[in-house]
Amino acid sequence: MQKRKLGTGGLEVSALGFGCMGMSFGYGPPKDTKEMTSLLHAAVERGVTFFDTAEVYGPLLNEELVGEALAPFRDRVVIATKFGWEANPDDGGKWSALNSRPKHIKQVAEASLKRLKVDAIDLFYQHRVDLNVPIEEVAGAVKELIQEGKVKHFGLSEASAKTIRRAHAVQPVAALQSEYSLFWREPENTVMPTLEELGIGFVPFSPLGKGFLTGKIDAETKFDTTDFRNTVPRFSEDNRKNNQALVDVITAFAKQKKATPAQIALAWLLAKKPWIVPIPGTTKLSRLEENLGGASVELTPKDVQALEDASSQVKLEGARYSPFHQQFVGR
């Protein structure tokens, strides 16, 4: 698989990464550890070198899974993880409280190093911007961890352009991770010009619209009770029915290119900018192989324009987050 560079600090990864969250969190109960370990091994064997996790996924379970599974390939892979959450006693112990105080960041780093079985965290993201801690203090804490050799690169997630600039002035930001896909194109206006100006990579999560752009989800689909899509307005039954028109556009385009809708969605992201590295997640080998096939689908500028012209005619319904999650976005 081709490689891409995130930021100007020399962080090179596979053009498609692997979002590991769903193996342990968010999309139903945690999956079988042996099966997920085999899948992570299969990803490495197929050229994936970039794996994304976070302490809050599980919590802690996902980092443990990724650390154990990728230990044999440590010299071949880049592992990204995140800090910034903690258990909230006012919310029954759920990980719903933000905490990016420097002392906490350093505690999280030490714990993540152990769970990931690594000497240094390749890419350490602030998971969500904490308005109670100046971003300069956050960047400064990560800068100290980099100077100590415990972290290699600094990242932000769902941050505003203003916050990105302020952080980057203290410690260069290698990558921003935010949602971006044909299902959610707001970053094109809000952050991508800043990323391009500053030489920061972009790592789109949910590049397949939380599975919607694969064409495998429709208005009749029933999600597990623990699946967070139950809380997403855009995934209500009525909104799925209305938003199907976008999937139909992508499906028609996929037929022309002899590809699948998922492959077109990923190829579109890869064609947008050379510093974009999507991180689709899956728990199935067949889906992994399908996703990786997206890196081989070449879209010309005319193709990209045609796809955008057609898809922009669809009026998408529903917010992408519940009010609780939305409050942490774009700070």
Q: What share of the chain is helix, strand, coil (3-state, %, to 5)?
A: 45, 20, 35
E strand segments, 20-120: 50-52, 78-83, 85-88, 94-98
Q: What's the rounded Cα separation, in Å, for the pair 130 and 105?
A: 12
Contact between 307 and 268 under an 8 Å Cβ cutoff? The reply is yes
Catalytic-residue membership of 27 = no
Residue at 64: amino acid letter: E
Question: Residue 193 — left, alpha, or beta (φ > 0 → left; ψ -120 to 50 → alpha)?
Answer: alpha
Contact between 43 and 74 under an 8 Å Cβ cutoff? The reply is no
Would you tell me the crossing angle of helices 33-45 and 61-70 to the nearest 10 degrees?
Answer: 50
180 token code pair? 């971006």
DSSP codes joined into one string, 160-214: -HHHHHHHHHHS-EEEEEEE-BTTB-THHHHTHHHHHHHT-EEEEESTTTTTGGG
Q: What's the rounded Cα separation, in Å, for the pair 210 and 232?
A: 10
Of residues 57, 125, 180, 321, which has the active-site annotation? Answer: 57
The length of the chain, given as a count of residues: 331
- Please return the burial class of 239, using the count of CB atoms within 10 Å of its CB with bins 0-12, 13-18 and 19+: middle
Question: Residue 330 — left, alpha, or beta (φ > 0 → left; ψ -120 to 50 → alpha)?
Answer: left
CA distances from 287 to 82, 211, 261, 314 (A): 25, 11, 12, 26
To the nearest 10°, report the CA torsion of 23, 29, 35, 36: 10
- Catalytic residues, by residue number, are 57
